Structure formats: structure tokens, C-alpha cells
Structure 1
């Protein structure tokens, strides 16, 4: 299961006119994932409903592996809407920028605790039904030190924030989150998440965005 790869694949097929706007299914180890393509080529991927508290990491464990002092960490939590994520909240973008990840240590922690990614994030703005965050996603558990765009991580983070009671749904029952990611890598991205709730509980999770073509070519087989 991988959000940004899903968006990229469907965006490429749409651009090549191999598919049109509509609803599709993607078969993954996380289950059958509905994917929607709108007329402008924006891709929306549904995610499984969230689970929480699957992985426990303390502030004292996380801080040295991120190159931070413990007092620079506000909270550590975990959530999953496909992959297993640990979320480390820090106060601001400046703290995100000065992370110094211990790659070997993070690989070891992720392997021992069954963690797929560690999302380090800060709150930017919010109001009823809307919020904006800045995120860095350290993906040592799946073999990549950092990703510039992470659909599954953004979806799970929105679920965590909702569960913590830090954002109320709009009158239509939706919560929309913008996740800004990849800025520290020089690969800025914007990931949108929409939660719907019913009786105060999350009823659906969708993550979406546009993809930009970075490379095109042809393969010649002999």
C-alpha cells in the first residue's frame, strides 16, 4: 500500500489517455482500495478505517534518534490507515528543519517495533473542518530514509488529530487537511486528506492530489 505511488500511477494513465475520469479499484495487501479520477486529473484514494495505538515509542526514545532534545517534542502517538505510523509532534517548522535523523537507529527501532514510517509534524493553521500541517516522513521501516509525499501517512495523521479532539468537522461532516511535505528535501508537495465522520467517529478516509510528470521516455526491448 502506497499513497503517492497510487496517485502517480493513475495520474500517468490519465495523462496517457489509458483511463478516463471515473472510479477504479486497486488490489493491495491492505485490501481493495477504491480510487477516483476526476475530470481534471486529480486522484483520490480511499484508505481503510484507522486503527490506533499499535506502536508505542516514548519521547525519550524518539528525541535522540531525531537529533532533538526531549523538550522539543510535544507528543508522540501512533495511527494506521494502512501502514503503521508513529507521529512525533514538534512546535514549528524551524524544529522540523533542524532534524538530524539517526538512520541506523531509526532502522533498528522501526524493525523492532513494526513501524513503517515516523511522521514528524507541526500544526500550521486550523478552523472548523479545515487544518494545515507541515510534515516530514521518515520511512526507514520500508527502506527509505525520507519521502517527499506520503498519502498513507497524511491520512493516518488526519485521523490522529481528529481522534485527539483537536479539529471539529464542518457542518457537512467533513474534515479537510492540507499536508505540506518535502520542503526540507527541495521537493515540495501538497497532499489533501478528507475525513468524513458519523456520530463523532471517522466513517471514511480519502487522500488525493495531482501528480507532475518528471520523466518520460521509451523502452526498447530486443
Structure 2
């Protein structure tokens, strides 16, 4: 059986940068073992698999090179962008079934994809001392933010870590300690951010590390961006409607742009949405079962 994987950069800025994801359409007859093998052949942090669903528009599953995850924001963006480009969907709203829940996705006439995420689940707070060793920043430096460190999930649990302005590029992550921490506390990764100063267009610059699932660092993380938007709404925004623009991937020389919006009232957050643009960069033909010499990659110029 030959499978075509679309290679897509998600959360691009004017067609450049972004975070690569694989997308496999018409994945109904693929087993979980097939999907994992395909994700490993593609080699990106995540590959999305799109199947039919009896009750909603599509069912999506997401695989890293080590196994399945409940949700992936940048792979969702990649999947709906490819479906839009292939004429499978048009401008409008759709519903996807994921292991993180049934979530709405809106496709704009300009190709922008905005995905709904789960309402936030606050999974615990941590002190500066225990996080400092994970990222190579002194606890006294982390304390300068006067902001908490908290694990939040809008589909996947991420540890949200504020760092003072000017320190984001100085992080020195200990992958062994971080993987052990994530396993112990049931979080996927660590999402560090520094707030942008003054009247900057960007709200914050971010870095994301998830070595536990085979991702040393990635240049755009949709699920963690939703969690960060909830964090900022809770601790900084103090408003009933908030819009954010995040930059990620600067340290990897692959800058991404992620938008997020929160609707809330005085008591709770009512909706979480994350959006962006994607650019197809190639195709990969993969023959199953996998072996030597049974994949071909075509890069788009």
C-alpha cells in the first residue's frame, strides 16, 4: 500500500518559517501501527491523519515519532490547510473529532485556519526552584517576573514558564531532567515565554520543549499557545475578550506567528481559539510495510 504524506509548514509568516507537520488524508484503513510507522518515516514532530466520521465532519488523529498524542495544534492547522487547498473543504466552519474532544475549526477565504481548543484545565503550580534546574536559569531570575509557573491544558498539558525579558534565548534545557519531570507530573512539555515590551505588535515570544515525546524543541506549538493565552487572561489581561499574537522559533532561526483569542466573563473562560497560516513544502510517498528504499520525497520550490 502506498501512502501520500503532505509536508506542510504551519504558522508561517508570509509563507516562511513555521513548524513542519505531515498530513495524510483518507486514513480510514490505516492501523495505529501504520500511522506510527508513517509518522516515523516523515520524521516531523507530529503527523496528522484525517479520516471520515459518522457524526462530525472529520476524525483526526496525531502521531509523533514515538506514539499517539491526543491533540496537536500545528498539525490540525496543516491538515485543514491541505484540505482547503485540495478542495475537500471550502470557506466555513467544520467539526473535528480528536482524542481531546469534538472541536470546531474555521477556514477563512484567505486560507487562515482558526481552531477551537478545549477550555483550560489548570493542572498545578510549581515553584521557581524546581523549574530553574530544568532550563538553566537561576530561581532568583525567574522570580523577577512575579508570575506563577503553572501547568495548563487546552488539549495537551504544558508547563507555562514566564522568564524575564531578554532571558528567553538564554535557556539551557536539560532534556533528561525535563523528560523525567514531565513523566512525573503528566505534562507533555515546557512552554517558556517572555512578554514583549512597549507597544510591540507581538504579545510574547515563546519556546517549547518536549523531549519526553521526541521533540527537543519546536518552532510553533498550537496547543501550548492556547494554554498560554488562558494563562495571560487569568494573570495579566483582566478583560472579558483578549487577543494575542505569539512568536515562536526565533532561537531555531525558523520564526512562526500564532494568533490566539479568548472569550471570558467575570467567572470563567468561555472559548479558546488559535489560528494561523500554513504552506505546503512537499510530498512524501511511503510504501507500507516500511523497509529500505520504499519512500520518496518531493520538495516544492
Q: Does TM, normalized by the shorter one, top 0.5?
A: yes
What is the match of residue 50 of structure 2?
none
CA distance in 2, matches of 1:220, 1:65: 40
Matches within 5 A, 1:177-196: 177-196=244-263
- CA displacement at 1:66 relative to structure 2: 0.5
| TM-score, L = length of structure 1 | 0.89
Is the CA contact (8 Å cut-off) linking 1:126 and 1:167 kept in structure 2?
Answer: no
- Whether 1:6 and 2:81 are equivalent positions in the alignment is no
Query: CA 1:212/1:21 → structure 2, altered by over 3 Å: closer, same or farther?
Result: same
Match of 2:140 among 31, 53, 71: 71
Is the CA contact (8 Å cut-off) linking 1:139 and 1:146 kept in structure 2?
Answer: yes
What is the match of residue 167 of structure 1?
237
Match of 1:113 among 160, 181, 185: 185
The alignment of Structure 1 onto Structure 2 pairs a total of residues equal to 214
Where 2:281 maps in the other structure, the secondary structure is coil
Match of 1:31 among 82, 101, 105: 101
CA distance in 2, matches of 1:149, 1:168: 26
What is the match of residue 209 of structure 1?
276
Structure 1 runs (4+) deviating above 4 angstroms are 217-222
Matches within 5 A, 1:32-181: 32-52=102-122, 54-73=123-142, 74=145, 75=147, 76-92=149-165, 94-125=166-197, 132-164=203-235, 166-169=236-239, 173-181=240-248
- Structure 2, unaligned runs of 5 or more: 1-70, 289-293, 295-301
Is the CA contact (8 Å cut-off) linking 2:263 and 2:269 kept in structure 1?
Answer: yes
- CA displacement at 1:126 relative to structure 2: 7.2
Q: Tell me which of the two structures has the higher relative contact order, counting C-alpha pairs closer than 8 angstroms and 6 or more residues apart.
A: 2
CA distance in 1, matches of 2:198, 2:89: 36
Is the CA contact (8 Å cut-off) linking 1:140 and 1:146 kept in structure 2?
Answer: yes
CA distance in 1, matches of 2:265, 2:231: 16
- CA displacement at 1:200 relative to structure 2: 4.8
Is the CA contact (8 Å cut-off) linking 2:190 and 2:210 kept in structure 1?
Answer: yes
| TM-score, L = length of structure 2 | 0.66
* Bigger Rg, structure 1 or 2: 2
Q: Over the residues paired in the alignment, what is the CA RMSD in angstroms? A: 2.1
- Per-residue CA deviations over 1:128-155 (Å, capped at 9, x if unaligned) read xx96111101123433121211111011
